[in-house]
Chain A
Amino acid sequence: MSDWIEVGVLNDIPKLGARVVSREEGDIAVFRTAEDKVFALRDKCPHKGGQLSQGIVHGDRVACPLHDWKIGLDNGVAVAPDEGCAASFPIKMEGEKIMLSLTPVEGCPNK
């Protein structure tokens, strides 16, 4: 794939925190878990559009700041019984460097 871009290094994101990749087509939130796993989701909760990057990260989930929906970081899918998804974007780590693909993983319409 040709659309991998470097967005920064691991330590740019606080543990259990998130940063935003800003773009015209809509922001992408990049998360870092307690175990230093990095995930990227469209920064828009499937419920009322809350910015997931502003939520509290716990385990492999983020709680939306608006109404506390829990969204799975690895796939963008809302935790049951809520239903919906935010598109997920591939991430690969090259050492400390965070590489993000701007082509979302197929399956979720909310890109």
Chain B
Amino acid sequence: MKEKLVVIGNGMAGIRTVEELLKIDSERYDITVFGAEPYGNYNRIMLSPVLAGDKTIDEIILNDEQWYIDNNVSLHKGKEVTSIDRAGRKVIADDGTEESYDRLLIATGSDPFIIPVPGNDLEGVISFRDIKDVDAMIAAAKEHKHAVVIGGGLLGLEAANGLMQQGMSVTVVHLIDKLMERQMDGPAAAMLKESLEERGLHFLMEAQTESIVGKDRVEKVRFKDGSEIYADLVVMAVGIKPNMKLAKEAGIHCERGIVVNDTLQTYDPTIYSVGECAQHRGIAYGLVAPLFEMAKVCANHLAKMGISRYEGTMTSTKLKVTGIDLFSAGDFTGDETTDELVFQDKARGVYRKIVVKDNKILGAVMYGDTIDGTWYFDLMRDGTDISEFRENLLFGQAHLGDSGHGDDNRVAAMSDNAEICGCNGVTKGEIVNAITVNKIFTLDEVRAHTKASSSCGSCTGLVESLMSYTLGGDYSTAPHLKPICGCTDKSHDHVRAAIEENGYKSIHTVMEAMEWKTPDGCSKCRPAINYYLVCKFPELNLDDSQSRFINERAHANIQGDGTYSVIPRMWGGMTTPQELRAVADAAEKYNIDTVHVTGGQRIGLYGLKKDELPAIWDDLNNAGMVSGHAYGKALRTVKTCVGKEWCRFGTQDSTGLGIKLEKMSWGSWMPHKFKMAASGCPRNCAEATIKDYGVVCVDSGYEIHVGGNGGIKVRATDLLCNVDTEEEVLEYSAAYIQLYREEAHYLERTAPWIERVGLNHIKEALIDNPEKRKELAERFNFSQTFMQDDPWQERAKGGEAHEFTPIKVIG
């Protein structure tokens, strides 16, 4: 017989947990849900747009009744559980319904805080918490004129804005002199107040409510100083308190909320609690993002997988008032040990403050233009060292060189047909539609439904902002905790650490030990794990060709029409008449229409059929040419200029150096493609400052530059250091490549890797610690002893024949 799971609370936290549970184990439990409200689960944070008339109730329903039927979940709608019988393991509802349980989940959320003043029970005094309240407010707006909202926090301002949209004259009463003091600092709060006043809201600041006056219905609000204002409707929005009455009465330990551990269990281990009613590590969250993470961990534990822990969530806030952009996260007050970076332009209505300590972001407040909110939030959650771009931090990510999407980034202001994803031609309207119609919350789901951000990824920030704007909150996971793919909850860092610690030597072992949810992974995780194993154990030849993308399996680039390209190496961009003749002969022999001089100083032949590849490779091999790895996550090219041998400005032999660099590092597999260049003087004709590793020769020696990228998102390199000799250039190069190979996530270029870990991290490993640099270089050179066999030659001689020939030819 199945075990019984009873959920008290039909809200976002409870149902999200059920959804997560059904995803990983739909067979274990008979599930019963009690909900006091007469609706399916709806998105409570979207009540503000409903009140403002921007959305309808139907649009914010997340799970309609059909969902409960489809998923075999029994729903007791409109029934309030009144007690929990822990000894008898059952719950009892107000209408007498009883349900027994093996496991119980309490997700009762929170109640609005009603200030204890005389008259708070008069008709027309309500809170702002559920659909019932919204209905009451909309009804009141039809008949009455004057509304008073008590509370100038997030909820109060959203209620006030909504009531104003409904046509009422609204006064917001706030106890202190600053709006949204838990999310805003002084200047931002002042700008917000000014902008709301321009829209027609009235404010009474530093006003303490003494009583609410009226006969049957509210008529006036009276304050401590004796003054009064008229009111036909009073909305109490001063805060919320965890709803823990049931738990308390059942003898479960509660403090400010129902106390839970890292697996979301209460002091009674058969009883779990998630959402706003729970208190975890001393914090009772009042925002929605933490609840999604809690739901995931709780579901995992309910399914008896027991591998994940909830460790708390950093939260961010956005105000859902159309036309007002406001963002805040973390500790934005600071103290004497912190620095404040402030940007303010009153005329444009823009304000940004970032609180920094030891070059890490502790918190941020933004007003007016919040497009970079998600970026700051990511930097904050990952603890990224910002010292290298600190001087540009306030100006946002666009200033770090996003050439494609630098301007007009404000997603809210974009028109519906504005293209967000240039690769797949997806517009803002299509993404917003996919989010609302399919009720989706995560970036992966948006990618699956629209393809936006699923190719080159450069629009990911925009899509995330758009999701946050559409959903009214940031639901994303901190970047370093993001799972590799849907097959697992484990991140790239988790997997690498586990391979390091436990010495796993096959993809299968990794997946089994780390409890993969799929039998043999997918096209995202298998290539990643394969790379991590190849990188860790170069001597063991663990490479699994079926876990490689076709280009790396066939050692040629697949083109849109299914043909392949062939690009042999031209060391340091140098070639010979003999090589050129071999290339020309091959082009004629295989009827190649397209012969292209690539940006990496070599020649590409396009349009080959797969079964022709071994033969053309053999021809090129015979002229001494080898694979250029133009298809791989590997060393691509080393671009050079002619250097001092020919150029009157040249200071060193940049060509010779480039050849040495390429001979040293060709054939090594990397997290992503890797390009180098060596320029003979600071005029930099080889464009070394947009390469992963670039050398600029100067009269006194060599400048070493790292982390450049000329692709989707142009990023100029950071200067790592100056060295005196070619030997040093080579040693730094080997060490730097190895550090990248060992630490970057699969499919992460050096530019985002350096932005993630910080340049100081690279400097510590390579400059401050010569021993470590030497060890890294040695590990790279050791690995290279197994990597430098030309893959073309092996296949030209008949290796891997099954890859290149049909199993059968018919007709």
Report A83 CB to chain B, min CB distance, Å. Answer: 11
Chain B residues whose CB sits within 8 angstroms of the CB of A58 once the complex forms = 518, 520-523, 526
**Contacts A55-B523, A58-B526, A63-B523 known; A24 to B449 CB distance under 8 Å?**
no
The answer to whether B449 and A65 have CB atoms under 8 Å apart is no
Interface size class of A (residues with CB under 8 A): 35 or more
**Is A107 in the interface zone, CB < 8 Å from B?**
no
Bound-state Cα–Cα, A47 to B547, Å: 23
Contact of A65 among B520, B521, B549, B802 (CB under 8 A): B549
Which B residues from 733 to 782 make CB contacts under 8 A with A?
A: none
Q: Nearest chain A CB to B775's CB is how many angstroms away? A: 35
Q: Mark A22-66, 1 if CB is under 8 A from B, else 0.
A: 111001001000100000000000001111001111110101011
Q: Which residues of B contact A109 (CB under 8 A)?
A: none
Establish whether residues A13 and B558, one from each chain, have CB atoms under 8 Å apart when the complex forms.
no
Are A56 and B547 in contact (CB-based, < 8 A)? yes
For B548, list chain A residues within 8 Å (CB): 56
Contact status A65-B546, CB under 8 Å: no
A20 touches B806 (CB 8 A): yes
Interface string of B771-811 (1 = CB under 8 A from A): 00000000000000000000000000000001000111111
A16 contacts B by Cβ under 8 Å: yes
- B730 CB to closest chain A CB (Å) equals 36
Instruction: Judge whether B521 and A21 touch: CB under 8 Å.
Output: no
Q: Which residues of A contact B522 (CB under 8 A)?
A: 56, 58-59, 61, 63, 70
What does DSSP make chain B's interface, helix, strand, loop or mixed?
Answer: loop
B546 touches A7 (CB 8 A): no
Across-interface contacts of A51 in B (CB, < 8 A):
558, 562
Report whether B546 and A54 are in contact in the complex, using a CB–CB cutoff of 8 Å. no
* CB-based contact A22/B809 at 8 Å: yes
Residue with the highest number of chain A CB atoms closer than 10 Å, among B449, B523, B809: B523
- Residues in chain A near residue B521, CB distance under 8 A: 58
Residue B97 is within 8 A (CB to CB) of chain A in the complex: no
Partner of A17, one of B546, B562, B808: B546
Q: Which residue of A lies closest to B507 (CB)?
A: A16
- In the complex, what residues of A have CB within 8 A of residue B810's CB? 5, 21-24, 102
Complex CA–CA separation, A67 to B454 (angstroms)? 9
Contact in complex: A20, B526 (CB < 8 Å): no
A58 to B523, CA, bound (A): 7
Tell me the residues in window 450-475 of chain B with beta carbons closer than 8 Å to chain A beta carbons. Answer: 451, 454-455
Closest to B424 in A: A67
State in angstroms the CA–CA spacing of A111 and B696 once bound together.
56
A95 interface hit (Cβ, 8 Å) = no
A59 touches B519 (CB 8 A): yes
Interchain CA distance A27-B455 in the complex, whole Å: 27
List of B residues within 8 angstroms of A63 by Cβ: 522-523
Contacts of B802 on A, CB cut-off 8 Å?
A: 12-14, 17, 19
Does B448 have its Cβ within 8 Å of any Cβ on chain A?
Answer: yes
User: Which of chain A's residues has its CB closest to B454's CB?
Assistant: A68
What separation, in Å, do the CA atoms of A30 and B810 have in the docked complex?
Answer: 14
Which of chain B's residues have a CB closer than 8 A to the CB of A70?
A: 522-523
Which positions 535-588 of chain B face chain A at CB distance < 8 Å? 545-550, 554, 558, 560, 562
Given contacts A58-B526, A81-B449, contact A15 B546 (CB under 8 A): yes
Taking CB as reference atom, which chain A residue is nearest B438? A81
> In the complex, are the beta carbons of A68 and B809 less than 8 A apart?
no
Residue of B nearest to A15 (CB): B546
The closest CB in chain B to the CB of A102 belongs to B810
Given A14-B545, A56-B547, A58-B526, A7:B807 Cβ within 8 A: yes
B519 touches A22 (CB 8 A): no
The answer, yes or no, to whether B527 is at the interface (CB within 8 Å) is: yes
Q: Taking the nearest CB of chain B, how far is it from the CB of A98, in angstroms?
A: 8
Given known pairs A12-B802, A56-B526, A59-B520, the reply for A30 and B454 (CB within 8 Å) is: no
6 closest residue pairs by CB, A with B: A63-B523, A19-B807, A23-B810, A22-B806, A54-B550, A56-B523
Supplied contacts A14-B545, A58-B522, A63-B523, 16 more A-B pairs, CB within 8 Å = A8-B808, A12-B807, A15-B546, A19-B802, A22-B809, A48-B560, A54-B550, A55-B523, A56-B523, A56-B526, A56-B546, A56-B549, A59-B522, A66-B560, A67-B455, A81-B448
| Chain B residues at the A interface, C-beta cutoff of 8 Å | 438, 448-449, 451, 454-455, 518-523, 526-527, 545-550, 554, 558, 560, 562, 802, 806-811
